Each structure stands twice: as structure tokens, then as C-alpha cells.
Amino acid sequence: MAEHLEKPLTVADLGERGTLARILPLLPSASGMTVGPGDDSAVVGLHAPEVVTTCDMMVEGPDFRRDWSHPEDIGYKAMTSNLADISAMGARPLGVIIGLAAPPDSPVADLVGIARGVAKGLSDMAPEAGVLGGDLSTAPQLTLSVTVLGQLFGLHPVLRSGARPGDVVAVTGEPGVSERGFRILNEHTTQAGGVLDPSVLAELRSQPEVLHHLAPRIDLDHGPAAAAAHATAMMDVSDGLVLDATRLAEASDVAIDFDGDAVVDDAWLMGGEDHGLLATFPPEVTLPEGFHPVGVVRDFEPSADAVGTGEVSTGGVSIDGVATPRVTVSGVAPDIERGGWDPYRDSVNTRVSP
């Protein structure tokens, strides 16, 4: 017990330089990197004069909670959510740039854990990619901001806007698994009065849904394979299938009808953070490995009632019977509570109650 009472070594004890000295050796290099972390900027060689880039932040509280996520999970999931956005263009990741702000009293072991999660995520999902640089800063909440660079290797980027009526709608993985893991964690946390005990967490982690929620592993070959198979539109499912399909349908000015037989439950429709792909393919295409059909693209035909009556709701779902939904299930607007997650409206109160 005595060693638990000892104060752990903090980032304030080691300072920026000392903390970096513990972290940098854990991080893999990118294969094309000619100047690495430690100078003002990194320099990376590319296959062609074109770069793909995306960014995603993760903040303690709205995006993760420490009684659920190990530091390794935080680093791993930060890789997944960002790498998925590169794959969703049909590109392959080249490297990541990581901004990390932590409270001065953070144990160095936590930052080392995050670095190990980053390294594991890259080695599992993008072994050719590495860490190109970053910034260590201080904030009252642990905050990660990850930018990924990728390259297309001669493929055309697959946008959200290319879906055409008649296209097949397909997804990778099983939508809703992360949401199911979230619900399991949430239920046990509520039962425990608001904070999950480490021993309960350890037990829950044996359930694949829980692990997928905390540290989802995805296959980054799917995006380039879809691009090579002439996918007409693609995105990763981060905010729930109905909300993300609505975004794709709006960008393409089409409607999407999911096959009722494909819909497993409401988690399938509205659960976010799976980071699988949603793509549309011309009907004559053989779907690439990993994709399975879940619906069709149709013409968008606003009903006479709906024309000019204003904005479609965030979820693209008809809440009040006025707007025409962009997304239906066997022709009918899905009956779900909400169409996805908005960081400003849903975060602290509905998503995470520490």
C-alpha cells in the first residue's frame, strides 16, 4: 500500500523537456520523414505533390472520461478517429502531428500511456505512418488535437458529394457496436453512483463492445479499396449512421433509403464513434472486401408540404412532420430519439456525467 501513497512523478516535476524525453523514444517515425520532431518543423517526402489532411480534437469530459479510458485507450482512439478520416477519402496515412495539453499535476505515466496508445494504434492500423511532430502544453483538462497527413497514391479522392440515384449504399464493420459499449459503461457507472470502479472497468473490458468503444480498431485498407472500386461517395461514420448518411445525402443532393432488414437496432441507426465507412457504389460494381450493402440511393423529392418550410433538423429526420427526411428506413423516417451528437448541445450534460 505504501507505494500508492507516494506522489507520482508529474509533468511539472520533469518540465516540458524532461517529459518529452520520456515520450519521444516511444513514438514511431514515418517512413518518408527527412526531418523529424525536435526542430521547428518536420519535413516529409511524399509519393506525389499532393497531401491529404484532417484534424480531430479529444477533450477530457466531452470526449472521454478517465474512469473509463486508460491513457493507452485515449492515445489509441485519437489515432482511430483521425486515421478513419484519411481512409474515408481513399487515402493512406503518412504521419500524425499531435498537440497535447495536460494539467501540470498530471502523472508522467499518463502521458507515457497516451504515447504508448498512439504507438500501438499506428502499429496496428498504419504501420507505415509515424509521428511527425507536435506540441506539449498545459490545460486544466487533458486535451489532444491530432492532425493526420495522408496521400492518395494516384487514386481520386472520394468526396461526400458524388452519390447518384441507383447507387448501392454500403458500410464496413457493424454500426452501433461503440454505442452498445457506451451503454454498458454508462449503465454500470450510473449503478455505481457516477464513477466506475477500476475493478468493474477491468471486468467490462472483456466485452468486445466495451473495448471497441474505448479503443476501436479499424481496417484502413477499406477506404483505398473503395476508391479503387470507383465508390461515388464516402465518409467515416463518427456521429451516427442516420446523421452521417444525412450529411452525405445533402452533399450529394440525394436521399438514402436503408433496407429495414439491415437495421439491427437504434444503436445501429444513431450510435457514433464506430469509425467504419459509409460509401456508395454504382450498382454494377462488386463491393470490395469488408463492405456489405445496407440500402440504396434515391432521388431526393421534397414533399409539397415541406417545400419552403425551412431547415431540415440536424439529424435530417422529420421531427415535426414538416421537413422531408434525407434518410429513411424502408421508405419511412426512422423513429429515433436523436440523429447524432453535437459537441455544444449534447456534451457535458447528456453524454458524460462525471
Q: Are the C-beta atoms of residues 238 and 273 closer than 8 Å to each other?
A: yes
End-to-end CA distance of the chain: 27
Of 49-57, 72-80, 185-193, 331-339, the segment contacting its own copies by CB under 8 A is: 49-57
Of 198-206, 231-239, 257-265, 320-328, the segment contacting its own copies by CB under 8 A is: 231-239
Q: Which helix (H) or strand (E) holds 119?
A: helix 108-125
Which of 51, 67, 4 has the alpha carbon at shortest distance from 153?
51
Residue 110 counted as an annotated binding residue: no
In angstroms, what is the minimal distance from the CB of 2 to its own copies?
27
Which of 253, 255, 252, 263 has the alpha carbon at shortest distance from 336?
263
Cβ closest to its own copies, residue 109 vs residue 332: 109
Residue 347 counted as an annotated binding residue: no
β-pairing, 277-281 vs 168-172, is: antiparallel
Q: Are the C-beta atoms of residues 293 and 168 closer than 8 Å to each other?
A: yes
Residue 265 counted as an annotated binding residue: no
In angstroms, what is the minimal distance from the CB of 204 to its own copies?
26
What's the CA gap between 286 and 17, in Å, rounded?
A: 53
Q: Are the C-beta atoms of residues 98 and 129 closer than 8 Å to each other?
A: no
For residue 157 the three cell numbers come to 479522392
Cβ closest to its own copies, residue 101 vs residue 262: 101
Residue 134 counted as an annotated binding residue: yes
Q: Are the C-beta atoms of residues 103 and 171 closer than 8 Å to each other?
A: no
* Binding residues for its own copies restricted to 153-182, rule: CB under 8 A: 157, 159-161
Cβ closest to its own copies, residue 10 vs residue 318: 10
Which of 69, 93, 114 has the alpha carbon at shortest distance from 215?
69
* Binding residues for its own copies restricted to 242-261, rule: CB under 8 A: 251
Residue 66 counted as an annotated binding residue: no
Binding mask 7-26 for its own copies (x = CB under 8 A): ----xx-xxxx-x-------
Cβ closest to its own copies, residue 114 vs residue 210: 114
Rounded to 5 degrees, what are φ and ψ at 13? -60, -45
Number of residues that bind its own copies (CB under 8 A): 78
Residue 135 counted as an annotated binding residue: yes
* Binding residues for its own copies restricted to 63-122, rule: CB under 8 A: 63, 84-86, 88-89, 91, 97-101, 104
In angstroms, what is the minimal distance from the CB of 189 to its own copies?
20
* Binding residues for its own copies restricted to 113-132, rule: CB under 8 A: 132
User: Could you give the dihedral angle defined by the CA atoms of residues 156, 46, 135 and 81, in that order, rounded to the nearest 10 degrees?
Assistant: 30
Residue 239 counted as an annotated binding residue: yes
Q: Put residue 166 in one of left, alpha, beta given phi > 0 → left and psi -120 to 50 → alpha.
A: left
Quickly count: other Cβ atoms within 10 Å of residue 257's Cβ: 20
Cβ closest to its own copies, residue 101 vs residue 200: 101
Decide: is 219 part of the binding site for its own copies (CB under 8 A). Answer: no
Decide: is 310 part of the binding site for its own copies (CB under 8 A). Answer: no
Cβ closest to its own copies, residue 99 vs residue 207: 99
Q: Are the C-beta atoms of residues 245 and 278 closer than 8 Å to each other?
A: yes
Decide: is 321 part of the binding site for its own copies (CB under 8 A). Answer: no
**Which residue positions form the known binding site for Mg(2+)?**
40, 54, 56, 85, 135, 236, 239
